[in-house]
Chains A and B, each alone.
Chain A
Amino acid sequence: MNIFLILSVLVLIAISIWQITKIFELSQAKKINTQVADDSDNNLNGKLMFAFLIFIYGITIFSFWSYGDVLLPNAASEHGSEYDNLMWISFAIIFFVQTITQALLHYFSYKYRGEKGKKALFYADNDKLEMIWTIIPVITLAGLILYGLYTWTDIMTVEENDEALVVELYAQQFNWKARYAGNDGVLGDANVRFLQDFDGRNLVGIDATDPNGFDDVVVQELHLPVGREVIFKMRSQDVLHSAYMPHFRAQMNCVPGMITEFAFTPNTTTEQMRLDPDVTAKVKKINKIRVEKSKELVASGDSALDPYEFDFLLLCNKICGASHYNMQMKIIVETEKEFEEWMSSQQTFAEVIQ
């Protein structure tokens, strides 16, 4: 019912605007209306153009002031700070350009608003000017490109090494699993053909004839030791998914029939992250919202919402069907010791298929 009301109100507003302009026009009956802009139209719209510039600046400032706190907190991975630096520099440049160009555009629209009797300047080209505003973007963009490519190569170059933790992220409609390579550091071969072995206990389709797989550990909650590089090997069981871990500035599609790769080194534990001032502020805000929401729910007979505690997240970020919006896995970054403790309490593949 609500929306009928809202829509009706909107339609009525539109109709009233129409009627008002009609009345206005009828009242101008004596003036011949060519429906071509005249001096008074130009004057009004010129001023509105300038006002619109203020609006653009206003909405920019308003958005940063109101919504600045929803932006992601400091990156929790080593390459994350490189990422964030590149982002801020890029933003600084584009904001500079935006501020100046919008000002010129709207100011000129106001300053040179038409008036009968005025003549425009016949100014058709100026090669020197064109050269200047071609060269300056070229130099700026060249700088951005070089910086960007350097960072990209840095992030995307994954060198196999003994130190790194190798973890498979296994995506399916609609959940995630993670597989650790175990003590041998090598993931056993796997393929969807093997999923139906062992009465469905072979959750990610490990090839039981490959000895490397025996010590693999399959879990539904991703634990990572802080300070150690993790190399993700991603697989998908069915359709395209994408492993998106925004706090680590990490994302990579999971493609059926292919193993994709992404690596990073987490440098902040979950506990440390929970103490980060931006995160604490965000959690507080969220819990305030949840408390409000719970009041409504309880009033209508439902149970209240659980309070929220920050956790790193793995979300699916490639449309994959009905529950794409709820395909998530908790990520816990902990000390090496906590990690080993947790790992030792998990079942290996060999134990699962016994």
Chain B
Amino acid sequence: MSTAAVHTEEDHGHHHKETFVTKYIFSQDHKMISKQYLITGLFMGIIGIAMSLLFRLQLAWPEQPFGIFEVLLGKWAPDGVMDPNVYLALVTIHGTIMVFFVLTAGLSGTFSNLLIPLQIGARDMASGLLNMISFWLFFLSSVIMVLSLFVEAGPAAAGWTIYPPLSALPQAQPGSGTGMTLWLFSMAIFIASSLLGSLNYIVTVINLRTKGMSMTRLPLTIWAFFVTAIIGVVSFPVLLSAALLLIMDRSFGTSFFLSDIFIQGEVLHYQGGSPVLYEHLFWFLGHPEVYIVLLPALGITSEIIATNARKPIFGYRAMVASILAIAFLSTIVWGHHMFISGMNPFLGSVFTFTTLLIAIPSAVKAFNYITTLWKGNLQLNPAMLFSIGLVSTFITGGLTGIILGDSTLDINVHDTYFVVAHFHLVMGISALYGLFAGVYHWFPKMFGRMMNKNLGYVHFWVTAVCAYGVFFPMHFIGMAGLPRRYYTNTAFPYFDDLADINVLITVFALIAGAAQIVFLYNFIHSMFYGKETVQNPWRSNTLEWTAPVEHFHGNWEGEIPHVHRWAYDYSKPGHDEDFIPQHIPLKEGEEELQH
């Protein structure tokens, strides 16, 4: 098994002698690793979504005992009524799992791994060993996170943002005890995994592109994954530092984030620290993180829309520029999560300015997607529907971001359901659609079979209706002043008139949850019994479809294809076919589009 050595062009793709363990478990092949990320991500997603359905039940029918609570939560739901502490634990772990384990590792880990070598024309990632290690670190962090659910005092429960002092003091709540320690431990390992993965992606894209694959001929998926990896390398270490400092405050008596605290009848020794410092460190990652989640989904959307519209993506240069602009700006907007943290209001002004700037490249992308559809010949495969759906929810969610990014307006909607609605539309729906679109589109590449399209249609339409059904009304309860992370609203008669809306949201959420079963069934069933695919089922231009259906190390028998054109020659005039793959040389007299 090759480790550090990278196959040169002269090497053929060849079959190593493989055992079950080296093929399926400790694989260094990027294609197998991508499947491992996907399956682990989907598994964690099932847990994350199940948790959201539990707390949605609690919110819709707050005084109603539920049998399922007793079954799943045991002592945390005496007589079937959910304990308030476990409500906080559920929202915390739901957020953590969905943002990190599903939408970061499950999205980037799967598609960066699958597509980077195949789309740039490389035999594998620069380091198969590091790649394998990064998956197994992710797997380990997932195991630890799941194990944290079973500790005596419950898992971490201070919100996915785990602000100290609440997260630093075990005496502040049960969910700041061992569960918090395990959460921090799991996240530290997760960050290590992410960094190793990102390094690999960056090095591979820079160094291992095949002949003719200049940066300006790269598909937008690669641009997205590449830039995402750079953002990750810049920002994840800061979260790691925040986590380490928090561990030190928790376990070694330091005062990085703590000062002047009286709790459970005693004055604590901590002096001089500030929770606001934690917030800065957390959000320095936290904001880029949401773009780490979103950019790959946007890259996937560009690819799928162009392929299925049989048209070049409109404005390739602008799309690349906007990815770069979003990446840069994402590192200087973090303070918009902290407008009312107590930090100097002047900072609030600065961050409002930078935050509203980031709306511009986002808008450009949305307009470009819409223009790509114009006068296309749209093949409405499930992947295409999810991609169009992504643009729709990205617009809706992104627009409410303009409200939240304005420091003044944030005063009254900060930490209300308005925020929850916003970030679920852009992350929970848009990015999730990106994941689904990617799975439907590249399933044949990953598993050599096609997913069932009718089930895909059912999955999309039910999910799409429910997505808006859940999150559109949620803006209203936020504007009504309802805070998030409230176990129940019944402590305030003032919020009694919001109960109906909560019920509606929960009903839509339950239906949406059920619709995902359709997807899971389709995914698993098609893996074994799906229609066997042809090499290029979507008639796409990118290089991954020039590799044979069957997987082997090295991706291509013989030489890696050379590239002669960009990835978007769809319906180019002067050609019979409505697509021209990247490795096809220019015809005599044909000109390449200049970028």
Contacts of B457 in A (CB 8 A): 41, 45
- Chain B nearest CB, measured from A4 CB (Å): 6
Surface stretch bound by A, among B180-188, B326-334, B508-516: B508-516
Q: Is B375 a contact of A251 with CB atoms below 8 Å? A: no
Tell me if B492 and A315 are in contact (CB < 8 A). yes
In the complex, chain A residues 127-183 whose Cβ is within 8 Å of any chain B Cβ = 129-130, 133-134, 137-138, 141, 144-145, 148-149, 151-153, 155-157, 173
B487 x A324 contact (CB < 8 A): yes
Interface of chain B, main secondary structure: helix
Is there a chain A Cβ closer than 8 Å to B210's Cβ?
Answer: no
Taking a contact as CB atoms under 8 Å apart, the answer to whether B267 and A134 are in contact is no
Q: Interface digits, B362-381 against A, CB 8 Å rule (1 contact, 0 not)?
A: 01101111110111111111
**Residue numbers in A under 8 Å from B166 (CB-CB):** 239-240, 319-321
User: A252 and B342: CB pair below 8 A?
Assistant: yes
- Residues of chain B contacted by A93 (CB below 8 angstroms): 402
User: CB < 8 Å: which of A94, A141, A319 contacts B159?
Assistant: A319
Is the CB of A35 closer than 8 A to any CB of chain B?
yes
* One of A101, A257, A317, A320 near B414 (C-beta < 8 A): A317
Which of B37-45, B228-236, B280-288, B493-501 lies at the interface?
A: B493-501
Q: Is B26 an interface residue (CB 8 A)?
A: no
Query: Is A42 a contact of B379 with CB atoms below 8 Å?
Result: yes
Q: Which B482-537 residues have a C-beta within 8 angstroms of A?
A: 483, 485-489, 491-494, 496-499, 501, 510-511, 513-515, 517-518, 521, 530-531, 537
A304-328 to B contact mask, C-beta < 8 Å, 1/0: 0100101001011111111111101
Closest to A33 in B: B531
Distance between Cα atoms of A174 and B403 in the complex (Å): 31
Among B258, B457, B494, find the residue whose CB has the most chain A CB atoms closer than 10 A. Answer: B494
B552 at the interface (CB under 8 A from A): no
Nearest chain A CB to B525 CB, angstrom units: 9
In the bound complex, what is the Cα–Cα distance between A14 and B159 (angstroms)? 32
Residues of the A chain whose Cβ atoms lie less than 8 Å from the Cβ of B538: 36
- Smallest Cβ-Cβ distance to B278: which chain A residue: A240
**Which chain B residues in 428-472 approach chain A with CB under 8 Å?**
450-455, 457-458, 461, 464-465, 468-469, 472
Contact (Cβ within 8 A) B360 A317: no
The number of inter-chain residue pairs (CB within 8 angstroms) is 414
Chain A interface, DSSP helix/strand/loop, else mixed: helix
Per-position binary interface string of chain B over residues 36-67, scored 1 when its CB falls under 8 Å from any chain A CB and 0 otherwise? 00000000000000000000010000001011
Q: Quick one: which of B67, B414, B518 contacts A18, CB cutoff 8 A? A: B518
What is the chain B residue whose CB lies nearest that of A96?
B399
Are A102 and B479 in contact (CB-based, < 8 A)? no
In the bound assembly, the distance between CA atoms of A51 and B182 in angstroms comes to 47
Of A219-227, A285-293, A338-346, which stretch is located at the interface? Answer: A285-293
Query: In the complex the two chains form, what is the Cα distance from A251 to B385 in whole Å?
Result: 41
In the complex, how many residues of chain A place their beta carbon closer than 8 angstroms to a beta carbon of chain B?
Answer: 133
Determine if A238 and B88 form an interchain contact, defined as CB atoms under 8 angstroms apart.
no
Interface locus among B5-13, B570-578, B582-590: B570-578
Q: Which residue of the partner chain, among B84, B311, B317, B454, contacts A25 with CB atoms under 8 Å?
A: B454
A275 at the interface (CB under 8 A from B): no
- Comparing B123-131, B194-202, B350-358, B554-562, the segment that makes contact with chain A is B350-358
CB distance from A259 to the nearest CB of B (A): 9
Judging by beta carbons under 8 Å apart, are B498 and A70 in contact?
Answer: yes
Counting CB contacts under 8 A, is B106 at the interface? no
Given contacts A148-B406, A325-B491, contact A2 B392 (CB under 8 A): no
> B481 interface residue, CB < 8 Å from A?
yes
Q: Say how far B357's CB is from chain A's closest CB, in angstroms.
A: 7
Binary CB contact string for chain B from 74 to 97 against chain A (1 if under 8 A, 0 otherwise): 000000000011001000000000
Contact of B468 among A7, A55, A98, A247 (CB under 8 A): A55
In the complex, the answer to whether A17 meets B518 with C-beta atoms within 8 Å is yes
Tell me how far the C-beta of B21 lies from the nearest C-beta in chain A, rounded to whole angstroms. 33
Least CB distance from B590 to A in Å reads 13
A21 and B260 contact, Cβ closer than 8 Å, known pairs A104-B370, A193-B267: no
Q: Would you call A6 an interface residue if the criterion is a C-beta within 8 Å of the partner chain's C-beta atoms?
A: yes
Flag if B497 contacts A120 (CB, 8 Å).
no
Q: Which residues of chain B are near A305, meaning CB under 8 Å?
A: 493
Q: Which of B364, B489, B493 has the most CB of A within 10 A?
A: B493
Q: Which residues of B contact A68 (CB under 8 A)?
A: 476
Residues of A198-232 contacting chain B, CB below 8 A: 205
**B-chain residues with CB within 8 Å of residue A134 when the two chains form the complex:** 360, 363-364
In the complex, A1 Cα to B65 Cα: how many Å?
9
Asked whether A285 lies within 8 Å of B364 as measured between CB atoms, the reply is no
CB distance from B421 to the nearest CB of A (A): 11
Min distance, Cβ B488 to any Cβ of chain A, angstroms: 6
The answer to whether A319 touches B158 (Cβ under 8 A) is yes
Q: How far is the CA of A156 from the CA of B408 in the complex (A)?
A: 9
Query: How far, in angstroms, from A94 to B422 measured CA to CA in the complex?
Result: 13
Q: Which chain A residues lie closer than 8 Å to B513 at the CB level? A: 10
Determine the chain A residues whose CB is within 8 A of the CB of B276 once the complex forms.
255, 258
**Are A321 and B315 CB-contacts (below 8 A) given A3-B68, A255-B275, A256-B259?**
no
A256 lies within 8 A of B275 (CB): yes
CA distance A251 to B453 in the complex (A): 49
Q: A249 to B578, Cβ gap below 8 A?
A: no
Q: Is B108 an interface residue (CB 8 A)?
A: no
In the complex the two chains form, is B453's CB within 8 Å of A36's CB?
A: yes
With A14-B515, A122-B312 given, is the CB distance from A313 to B395 under 8 Å?
A: no
| Residues of chain A in range 22-60 having any CB-CB distance to chain B below 8 Å | 24-25, 33-37, 41-42, 45-46, 48-49, 52, 55-56, 59-60
Q: Across the interface, do A109 and B476 meet the contact criterion of CB distance under 8 Å? A: no
Instruction: Please give the distance in Å from B53's CB to the nearest CB on chain A.
Output: 9
Which residues of chain A are within 8 angstroms of B545 by Cβ–Cβ distance? none
Q: Which residues of B contact A56 (CB under 8 A)?
A: 392, 468
Taking the complex as formed, is A97 at the interface, i.e. its CB lies under 8 A from any CB of chain B? yes
Q: Which residues of B contact A191 (CB under 8 A)?
A: 260
Name the A residues within 8 Å of B499 (CB-CB).
Answer: 289
Contacting B at CB under 8 A, from A56-76, are 56, 59-60, 63, 67-72
Are B473 and A137 neighbours in the complex by a CB distance under 8 Å?
no
Contact of A14 among B363, B381, B453, B514 (CB under 8 A): B514
Q: Which of B311-328 contact A (CB under 8 A)?
A: 311-318
Cβ contact within 8 Å between A105 and B392? yes
**A87 at the binding interface (Cβ < 8 Å):** yes
Check if A113 is an interface residue, CB within 8 A of chain B.
yes
Q: In the complex, which residues of chain A have a beta carbon less than 8 angstroms from the beta carbon of B412? A: 72, 83, 246, 249-251
Set of chain A residues within 8 Å of B376, measured between Cβ atoms: 108, 112, 114, 120-121
Check if A299 is an interface residue, CB within 8 A of chain B: no
Q: List 18 A-B contacts (CB under 8 A).
A: A35-B531, A36-B537, A98-B399, A119-B310, A123-B314, A124-B313, A134-B360, A137-B363, A148-B352, A240-B165, A244-B415, A285-B497, A286-B497, A313-B494, A315-B481, A319-B166, A324-B485, A325-B486
Report which B residues bind A (CB closer than 8 A).
57, 64, 66-68, 84-85, 88, 158-159, 163-166, 169, 172-173, 258-263, 267, 272-276, 309-318, 340-342, 345, 348-349, 352-353, 356-357, 359-360, 363-364, 366-371, 373-381, 384-385, 388, 391-392, 395-396, 399-400, 402-403, 406-409, 411-412, 414-416, 450-455, 457-458, 461, 464-465, 468-469, 472-473, 475-477, 479-481, 483, 485-489, 491-494, 496-499, 501, 510-511, 513-515, 517-518, 521, 530-531, 537-538, 568, 570-573, 578, 593
- Going nearest first, the 9 A-B pairs with the smallest beta carbon separation are A257-B259, A246-B481, A35-B450, A260-B342, A192-B262, A156-B345, A10-B514, A45-B380, A326-B491
Known: A63-B475, A119-B571, A148-B406. 8 other contacts (CB 8 A): A34-B531, A122-B571, A123-B312, A152-B345, A152-B349, A193-B267, A238-B262, A250-B412
